[in-house]
């Protein structure tokens, strides 16, 4: 059962590589089986009572990636002490009643 699942997975993920590697009718392109001959053979062999050992060349290397999350914990500073500061306003505005006129030429 596992062999059939991996074979169908390989056929779905990489159909061109599957056809080049495992198709039994590569010399007869007019049949247009596109690797389905091997899929049928694997399915029938799994349904039969004869257990054929797995051949290592039937599968490509499968990379399984396990996603791990990184947890970051921040420590809080004690907020019991209040910060003392004084605000000083250094802004000054000079009021001028005259308006600027460009020089006459």
Q: What is the pLDDT of residues 6-33, one digit of tens each?
A: 777 777 877 777 777 777 777 776 777 7
Residue 100, pLDDT score: 76
Report the alpha-carbon distance of residue 99 to residue 21 in Å, rounded: 89
Distances (CA, A) of 65 to 62, 68: 10, 9
pTM for this structure?
0.38
Distance, C-alpha 29 to centroid of its chain: 36
Q: Which residues contact 50 (CB under 8 A, 6 or more apart)?
A: none
Residue with tokens 């990184």: 70
pLDDT at position 65: 67
Average pLDDT, the chain: 73
Per-domain residue ranges of the chain:
2-48
pLDDT tens digits for 58-86?
555 666 667 788 888 888 877 666 767 77
């Amino acid at each position: 059962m596992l062999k059939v699942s991996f074979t169908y997975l390989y056929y779905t993920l990489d159909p061109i590589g599957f056809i080049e590697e495992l198709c039994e009718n590569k010399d007869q392109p007019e049949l247009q089986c596109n690797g389905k001959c091997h899929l049928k053979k694997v399915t029938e062999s799994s349904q039969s009572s004869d257990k054929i050992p797995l051949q290592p060349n039937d599968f490509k290397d499968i990379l399984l990636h396990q996603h791990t999350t990184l947890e970051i914990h921040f420590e809080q500073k004690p907020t019991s002490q209040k910060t003392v500061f004084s605000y000083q306003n250094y802004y000054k505005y000079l009021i001028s009643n005259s308006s600027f006129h460009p020089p006459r030429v």
